[in-house]
């Protein structure tokens, strides 16, 4: 494909003028043909089941008359296909003269942070349930800002040594930019709006292109009007695989941690308040976070990224794991540390790995128990049901009848 021209050098006044003109004109974007995302290979549960969507004309009329938004771009052909982001559709790329080309459309997104349904996953033993104690059924619809109809944006996958081009199209009602968080790149590609580049105005396009010299788990997020734009959801994870890997995980998962202040009856997040009351893995709060299903014996890597304003100590039941990476890249083997909880500070990523020897239904959750709640501010005294950053890891046993045995204990004892 032909690379799109670089953004024109509009200054702040130009951007502001474009914003005013755009809102006066009520510009309309052409609808592209929608190619559905192809399921990624080698993932435990390919489930592009995110119920987020770029808002269609009908629902939009209530908010911004006359404006429509592009569906996800048809760049779904080539899939790296290794990293699985539960609840978020995968993103493919096109090749252009050796460059991997991704498209991110920044646009308003309406989705359910929680669909209000009890989890009916048959793998969770029903006999253990206490009515109303486990799961919060409040439906919460949110209108945020995301990429390609998704909050958070899709996980971008590439390989060290690749040159990637990311085409940002701005369908937001205000200027934006994308910062490549943790990436060592030329200054003019950093995406720090008003510092290294003018922000991309509404209706504008900006092309970022750079070579990837690192590997690991990184972030991307808006870097214009940051407090508001990040609080509305504009972020995602960028995974760079090493060209060669000694121990490839069988299951590779990315989870973006976000938090929201949602006031009763209002789908628009409060972007200035600090009483965060909804906490999400990939835009979903429990019980609406899809479970992670793996087979006993598989090597699992979980990549956590934090684009919220709190730290999240993420805890896994039934295992000790090894922390193997940060937003600075992989941790040398001698410096990896064993843990059952890994704290993920704001603006960081943490990768941890384990071999799923222990079959069963294991919880993965933030250990700030405040963050294991939905809308706690509204809950009266009494039972406080689980919600928020709570996910289930199902490790399917290789042999249903085999007795439980710790791997440290010799067989036959």
Which residues lie near Cu ion (CB under 5 A)?
Answer: 312, 366, 368, 371
Instruction: Tell me whether residue 178 or residue 392 sits nearer to Cu ion (CB atom).
Output: 392
Q: Which residues pair with 235 in a beta bridge?
A: 221
Instruction: Tell me whether residue 303 or residue 368 sits nearer to Cu ion (CB atom).
Output: 368
CA distance 48 to 365: 22
Instruction: Tell me whether residue 293 or residue 309 sits nearer to Cu ion (CB atom).
Output: 309
Instruction: Tell me whether residue 178 or residue 339 sits nearer to Cu ion (CB atom).
Output: 339
CA distance 381 to 384: 8
User: Shortest Cβ distance from residue 285 to Cu ion (Å)?
Assistant: 12
CA distance 310 to 246: 34
User: Shortest Cβ distance from residue 358 to Cu ion (Å)?
Assistant: 24
Instruction: Tell me whether residue 84 or residue 371 sits nearer to Cu ion (CB atom).
Output: 371
Instruction: Tell me whether residue 241 or residue 312 sits nearer to Cu ion (CB atom).
Output: 312
Of 194, 260, 197, 192, give the one whose Cα is nearest residue 220: 192
Q: Do strands 53-54 and 99-114 pair parallel, antiparallel, or not at all (unpaired)?
A: antiparallel
User: Shortest Cβ distance from residue 368 to Cu ion (Å)?
Assistant: 4
**Tokens coding 118:** 């009890």
CA distance 326 to 304: 9
Instruction: Tell me whether residue 234 or residue 366 sits nearer to Cu ion (CB atom).
Output: 366
CA distances for 39 relative to 36, 46, 191, angstroms: 9, 5, 30
User: Shortest Cβ distance from residue 332 to Cu ion (Å)?
Assistant: 28
Instruction: Tell me whether residue 166 or residue 285 sits nearer to Cu ion (CB atom).
Output: 285
User: Shortest Cβ distance from residue 257 to Cu ion (Å)?
Assistant: 7
User: Shortest Cβ distance from residue 81 to Cu ion (Å)?
Assistant: 30
User: Shortest Cβ distance from residue 345 to Cu ion (Å)?
Assistant: 11
- The owner of tokens 């004309």 is 57
User: Shortest Cβ distance from residue 312 to Cu ion (Å)?
Assistant: 3
**Tokens coding 103:** 């498209």
Instruction: Tell me whether residue 278 or residue 319 sits nearer to Cu ion (CB atom).
Output: 278
User: Shortest Cβ distance from residue 279 to Cu ion (Å)?
Assistant: 6
Instruction: Tell me whether residue 100 or residue 368 sits nearer to Cu ion (CB atom).
Output: 368
Q: Which residues pair with 182 in a beta bridge?
A: none
User: Shortest Cβ distance from residue 366 to Cu ion (Å)?
Assistant: 3
User: Shortest Cβ distance from residue 341 to Cu ion (Å)?
Assistant: 11
Instruction: Tell me whether residue 137 or residue 310 sits nearer to Cu ion (CB atom).
Output: 310
């Amino acid at each position: 494909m032909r690379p799109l021209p670089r953004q024109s050098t509009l200054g702040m006044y130009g951007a502001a003028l474009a914003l005013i003109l755009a809102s006066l004109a009520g510009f309309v974007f052409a609808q592209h043909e929608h190619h559905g995302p192809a399921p990624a290979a080698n993932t435990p549960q390919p489930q592009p089941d995110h119920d987020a969507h770029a808002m269609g004309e009908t629902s939009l009329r209530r908010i911004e008359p006359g404006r429509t938004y592009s569906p996800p771009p048809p760049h779904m052909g080539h899939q790296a296909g290794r990293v699985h982001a539960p609840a978020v559709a995968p993103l493919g790329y096109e090749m252009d003269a050796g460059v991997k080309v991704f498209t991110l459309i920044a646009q308003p997104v309406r989705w359910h942070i929680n669909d209000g349904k009890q989890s009916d996953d048959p793998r969770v033993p029903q006999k253990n349930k206490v009515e109303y104690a486990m799961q919060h059924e409040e439906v919460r619809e949110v209108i945020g800002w995301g990429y390609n109809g998704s909050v958070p944006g899709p996980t971008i996958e590439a390989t060290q040594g690749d040159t990637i081009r990311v085409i940002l199209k701005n369908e937001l009602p205000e200027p934006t930019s994308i910062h490549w968080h943790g990436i060592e790149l030329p200054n003019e590609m950093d995406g720090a709006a008003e510092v290294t580049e003018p922000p991309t105005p509404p209706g504008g396009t900006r092309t970022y292109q750079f070579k990837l010299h690192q590997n690991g788990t990184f972030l991307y997020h808006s870097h214009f009007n940051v407090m508001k734009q990040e609080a509305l959801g504009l972020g995602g994870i960028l995974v760079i695989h090493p060209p060669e890997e000694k121990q490839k995980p069988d299951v590779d998962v990315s989870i973006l941690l976000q938090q929201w202040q949602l006031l009763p009856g209002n789908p628009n997040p409060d972007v200035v308040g600090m009483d965060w009351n909804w906490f999400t893995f990939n835009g979903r709060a429990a019980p609406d976070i899809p479970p992670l299903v793996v087979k006993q014996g598989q090597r699992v890597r979980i990549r956590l990224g934090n684009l919220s304003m709190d730290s999240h100590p993420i805890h896994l039941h039934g295992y000790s794991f090894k922390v193997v990476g940060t937003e600075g890249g992989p941790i040398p083997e001698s410096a990896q540390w064993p843990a059952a909880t890994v704290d993920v500070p704001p603006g960081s990523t943490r990768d941890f790995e384990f071999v799923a020897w222990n079959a069963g239904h294991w919880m993965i959750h933030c250990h700030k128990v405040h963050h294991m709640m939905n809308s706690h501010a509204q809950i009266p005294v009494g039972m406080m049901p689980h919600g928020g950053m709570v996910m289930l890891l199902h490790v399917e046993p290789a042999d249903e009848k085999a007795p439980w045995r710790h791997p440290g204990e010799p067989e036959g004892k």
